[in-house]
A and B are shown apart, each in its own frame.
Chain A
Amino acid sequence: MSKTLNRRDFIKTSSATTVGVATIASGITLTSFAVNANENPVTKDKRWGMLVDTNKLTEVEIDGMVSACQQENGWGSEVHSTGDQKPTWVKKLKVQDKATGKITSLPLMCQHCEEPPCVDVCPTNASMKREDGIVLVDKHLCIGCRYCMMACPYDARSFVHEELTDQREHMPRGKGTVESCTLCVHKVDNGESPACVASVNSDAVIFGDLYDPKSNINQTLKKVQSAQIRADLDLNTGVRYSGI
């Protein structure tokens, strides 16, 4: 299996308009999103998704998911950003039902919408959705206008407010651009699960191809009741929750 970046595959399979990306000079290198075309092609026959069972998932496990993401993708050790300036790819949310008083904790990250408002509003096509449903920011095209952050209904995106050091090789980030959960695309393309999913030792969070009738996530979604956050917006999110 070749570990080298097959850049052409990446471009071809993401969006035709990103052609030419590689020619734009920048301090950040376009690495990863490596697609091993033979083993794990990015196609629209797949739709990656996640199902979070909030009844099974403990608060400690949610905290573990957040740290796993930080560890994997290298965010969270910013030194200057304060309060709301800090990047947050995934966060723990605690909500209480006004009628029943029931309290639920859940991890909230980019929901990888099928109709992503962030992609619709992005002037430069930096925000884009891969054919397999993963929503990403192309760090070479992002001009840092932050319109996608205005448009995202889930507060899922972060703007990098300071110069970064100590970045992960597979996850380039850059001051002045916007970032969010990539569903650990670099791992998914290698046939692995996202870091947050892998950090949970039960089936409280499952990851897989929503379209594949043989996948655990597809079968579970047929059995249990699940919901999308802000389903009324009709964005058809890839991240689903049961127990909320």
Chain B
Amino acid sequence: MNIRYEETQGRSLGFYALIAGLGVFILAALGAVLYMEHYGHYVTGMSNRIVWGMPHVFALFLIVAASGALNVASIASVFQKKLYKPLSRLSGLVALALLAGGLMVLVLDLGRPDRLIVAMTEYNFKSIFAWNIILYNGFFVIVAVYLWMMFERRMNKFTSKAGLAAFSWRLILTTGTGSIFGFLVARQAYDAVIMAPMFIIMSFAFGLAFFILILMASYKWTERPLGDAVVNRLGSLLGVFVAAVMYFVAVKHLGNLYLAENAGVENFILFDGGIYTQLFWYGQIILGGLIPMALIYHPALRGNRSTLGLASILILIGGVIQLYIIIVGGQAYPMEMFPGKEILEGYGGIAAYTPSLPEIMLGIGGIAVSLIAVTLLVKFLPFLPESLADEVADPHHKS
């Protein structure tokens, strides 16, 4: 069956309302940035103890999700699954859009965002951060080429090679993101080899959740047919990914608990960390893991798009919470500076952090930038198949 791709019309009231709505969030984010840069970071909740706050939570969340959003395309071109093929273009687009949103937040939270040019020209090749800058730039180029191969009929034959390159690059990229923490030897919360693979599996779940939401919303709002074959397959895949994230989380925390030197921070997150413990159990585990799994796997809800959409949203909220616990919780717990001694004065204790409104607005602005990029690009380029009805999309469809 031949798939026909077509731009969305983008003339409806709904379209303009969506653009305007996202625009408001983007403007608010820019306002927040001007405010924070003008006064300095003292107007935020961040400090010398919590040096990375809410902006980093959102930035890393989006960057991690970006590489995961590419999975759908990878499954099609690397693993030759026909059902996913018509979704590949959108998958590449969502990946680029999420990365752009994440990077925007990361850059605008720098102390000197005006020196971005320094970051692009001065590289310390020992720094995993510098490597990440290269990996992010490379991701843009590789995925753009990959999309071009998909769009350009003459180039179609190279799609699977480009897909393989993009797939390998994204694995390295997420490993790089996870490794940012791997190099912080003095901080107990990050002292785990499992960090990088866990980030990869997190990216699978968050990226697919974004993808499903964007796919379902765009087909509903453009009134194009979207069959159950595609939706249900993506839904079960999402369930598997969430289960895998839960598995990794369990391994990481149980492993840490039995490692004497990390028991302190583990106890903090799991049992007596106040807000962090609550966020972990209620937010990350129940809201972002168990409930979505129930929504996806409960027999009575199978094929129900509202509950799949809800599950996806909860997974994303759980994802933000998970990164909050990793990034902020990991810093809040003090470093063990004098093993065998107790610090009475001068350092120590749980560092306080209350995210300020501008920080949150900047983070949400990153999501809005990603979504507005997708909304506009599907209008100007043929990313979306005009139909994903079962008889078009499902290779095993019997009529």
**Interface residues, chain A, with chain B CB atoms under 8 Å away:** 17, 24, 80-88, 91-99, 103, 108, 117, 120-126, 141-147, 149-155, 157-163, 175-178, 229-230, 232-233, 244
Render B106-132 as a binary contact track against A, CB cut-off 8 A, 1 for contact. Answer: 000011110110110011101111100
With A85-B42, A85-B48, A121-B127: A97-B337 Cβ-Cβ less than 8 Å: no
* A232→B261 CA distance, assembly (Å): 13
A87 B342 Cβ-Cβ under 8 A: no
CB contacts (< 8 Å) of B128 on chain A: these are 121
* A147→B327 CA distance, assembly (Å): 12
CB contacts (< 8 Å) of B123 on chain A: these are 123-125
Render B55-84 as a binary contact track against A, CB cut-off 8 A, 1 for contact. Answer: 000000000000000000000000000000
B344 within 8 Å of A by Cβ? yes
Q: Kindly identify, within residues 114 to 166 of chain B, every residue whose CB is under 8 Å from any CB belonging to chain A.
A: 115-116, 118-119, 122-124, 126-130, 133
Q: Which 9 A-B pairs have the closest CB atoms?
A: A144-B111, A176-B111, A153-B186, A84-B47, A93-B346, A94-B345, A161-B42, A123-B129, A162-B40
CB contacts (< 8 Å) of B341 on chain A: these are 95-98
* A121→B52 CA distance, assembly (Å): 15
Nearest Cβ distance between residue A109 and chain B, in whole angstroms? 12
List 19 contacting pairs A-B, 8 Å CB cutoff, sorted by A: A17-B124, A81-B42, A84-B351, A85-B41, A85-B42, A85-B46, A93-B347, A96-B341, A117-B185, A123-B124, A124-B124, A125-B124, A143-B111, A155-B335, A161-B42, A175-B111, A177-B111, A229-B338, A230-B337
Nearest Cβ distance between residue A25 and chain B, in whole angstroms? 10
B343 within 8 Å of A by Cβ? yes
Nearest Cβ distance between residue B102 and chain A, in whole angstroms? 15
**Interface of B (DSSP majority class):** loop
CB contacts (< 8 Å) of B338 on chain A: these are 95, 229, 244
CB contacts (< 8 Å) of B113 on chain A: these are 143
Partner of B118, one of A84, A141, A149: A141
Q: A150-B52, A178-B111 are in contact. List 16 more A-B contacts (CB 8 A).
A: A17-B122, A24-B118, A80-B39, A84-B47, A85-B41, A87-B48, A99-B340, A122-B129, A123-B127, A124-B122, A143-B115, A144-B110, A144-B112, A153-B337, A162-B42, A176-B37
A83 B352 Cβ-Cβ under 8 A: yes
* A177→B115 CA distance, assembly (Å): 11
B216 within 8 Å of A by Cβ? no
B40 A91 Cβ-Cβ under 8 A: no
* A35→B347 CA distance, assembly (Å): 35
In this complex, the interface size class of chain B, counting residues with CB under 8 Å from chain A, is: 35 or more
Nearest Cβ distance between residue B359 and chain A, in whole angstroms? 13
CB contacts (< 8 Å) of B339 on chain A: these are 230, 232
* A159→B53 CA distance, assembly (Å): 14
CB contacts (< 8 Å) of B345 on chain A: these are 92-94
* A145→B113 CA distance, assembly (Å): 9
Nearest Cβ distance between residue A26 and chain B, in whole angstroms? 8
* A162→B130 CA distance, assembly (Å): 26
CB contacts (< 8 Å) of A95 on chain B: these are 338, 341-344
B346 A151 Cβ-Cβ under 8 A: no
Residue of A nearest to B186 (CB): A153
A91 B347 Cβ-Cβ under 8 A: yes
B379 within 8 Å of A by Cβ? no
Residue of B nearest to A18 (CB): B122
CB contacts (< 8 Å) of B335 on chain A: these are 153, 155
B124 A122 Cβ-Cβ under 8 A: yes
B49 within 8 Å of A by Cβ? yes
Render B5-37 as a binary contact track against A, CB cut-off 8 A, 1 for contact. Answer: 000000000000000000000000000000001
* A238→B46 CA distance, assembly (Å): 30
Partner of A160, one of B49, B50, B111, B351: B111
* A94→B345 CA distance, assembly (Å): 5
* A129→B266 CA distance, assembly (Å): 34
